[in-house]
Amino acid sequence: MTSQTAILGAGVMGEALLSGLVRAGRRVDRLMVGEKRPERAHELEERYGVAVLDNRSAAAKADTIALVVKPQDMADLLEEIAPVLRPGVLLVSLAAGITTAYIESRVPEGVAVVRVMPNTPALVDEGMTAISPGSHSSEADLAEVETLMSSVGKVLRIPERQQDAVTAISGSGPAYIFFVVESMIEAGVHLGLPRATATDLVIQTLVGSGKMLRETGTHPTVLREQVTSPGGTTASALRELEVHKVRAAFLAAMEAARDRSRALAQGS
């Protein structure tokens, strides 16, 4: 691929994308970064040898522009770069909640927009990214974004109306998993295990369970039943999770995330 890609907004997710592209063999002279905080810009220049430019210069030179600022900063960023956007340029928005229509209404006609929801495991090339076309994006644009995001993990095409739910499940998802991991480690400490032992036990249990899910293709309910001996320890634990309404809490949490994603599009 010989095109120029600009990443505007290089915080956690911008760096995940940048580092993934570099790991995937993208030449650094084909990449540019726009970043508001000078110390962060300097850090990325040092770490990757990438050129950090002002947003307008980067946007003017790029064929593909990844928008990786917070949803609340998107309007200002679009206002800044809109004057230099050429027809045919591809905007790839990673921002939660922001619709392709929101972006299309703020940029010149003929600019293609693709909405993307990644997650932080992209940092270790195990990301889950869902992509949706805007009203002017072509098959070639979607294929371009698939190539871009598959450098950091798995990519799925979905209709845009599913993006808020996807944000609630896989976009925010790693945080729920880490929360469960934290909770299990704390429980281990309460049960008298050294913290380091509890941490090792929980992380390997998580990785092993994830590998079983992926490699066996067996439904999670069946896998859970395999662990749950009649009258045994697991059944006792699961009864407590049901008593404490953990399943209902997960549903309420993800509905809240989905609703928050919708609200971000309204600028709140």
Ligand X SMILES: NC(=O)C1=CN([C@@H]2O[C@H](COP(=O)(O)OP(=O)(O)OC[C@H]3O[C@@H](n4cnc5c(N)ncnc54)[C@H](O)[C@@H]3O)[C@@H](O)[C@H]2O)C=CC1
Ligand Y SMILES: O=C(O)[C@@H]1CCC=N1
Using CB under 6 A, which of 151, 171, 185, 198 touches ligand Y? Answer: 171
Nearer to ligand X, 100 or 120 (CB): 120
Give the total residue count for the chain. 268
Instruction: Please give the Cα distance from 155 to 149 (Å, whole number).
Output: 7
Q: Which of residues 12-41 bind ligand Y (CB under 6 A)?
A: none
Nearer to ligand X, 90 or 257 (CB): 257
Q: What is the dihedral of CA 30, 132, 177, 24, to 10 degrees?
A: -20
Instruction: Please give the Cα distance from 94 to 267 (Å, whole number).
Output: 16
Nearer to ligand X, 66 or 90 (CB): 66
Of the listed pieces 22-30, 164-172, 200-208, 214-222, which binds ligand Y according to CB under 6 A? 164-172
Task: Count interface residues toward ligand X (CB under 6 A).
Answer: 28
Site string for ligand X, 222-261 (x = CB under 6 A): ----------------------------------------
Task: State the Cα angle at 188 between 183 and 192, rounded to 5°.
Answer: 145
- For residue 68, the partner it binds in ligand X, ligand Y, none, with Cβ less than 5 to 8 A by kind, is ligand X
Asked if residue 14 binds ligand X (CB under 6 A), the reply is: yes
Using CB under 6 A, which of 5, 35, 48, 113 touches ligand X? Answer: 35
Asked if residue 71 binds ligand X (CB under 6 A), the reply is: yes
- For residue 40, the partner it binds in ligand X, ligand Y, none, with Cβ less than 5 to 8 A by kind, is ligand X
Instruction: Please give the Cα distance from 156 to 44 (Å, whole number).
Output: 29
Q: Which of residues 105-144 bind ligand X (CB under 6 A)?
A: 117-120
**Residue with the closest Cβ to ligand Y?**
171
Q: By CB neighbour count within 10 A (0-12 exposed, 13-18 middle, 19+ buried), where does 129 fall?
A: buried
CB of 252 to ligand X, least distance (A): 21
Neighbour tally for 86: CB within 10 Å: 12
Asked if residue 76 binds ligand X (CB under 6 A), the reply is: yes
Of the listed pieces 16-24, 35-43, 165-173, 191-199, which binds ligand Y according to CB under 6 A? 165-173
**Residue with the closest Cβ to ligand X?**
11
Site string for ligand Y, 48-87 (x = CB under 6 A): ----------------------------------------
Which two three-digit tokens encode residue 48? Answer: 């990757």
Asked if residue 96 binds ligand Y (CB under 6 A), the reply is: yes
| Site residues (vs ligand X, CB under 6 A) | 8-14, 34-37, 40, 55, 68-71, 73, 76-77, 94-96, 117-120, 171
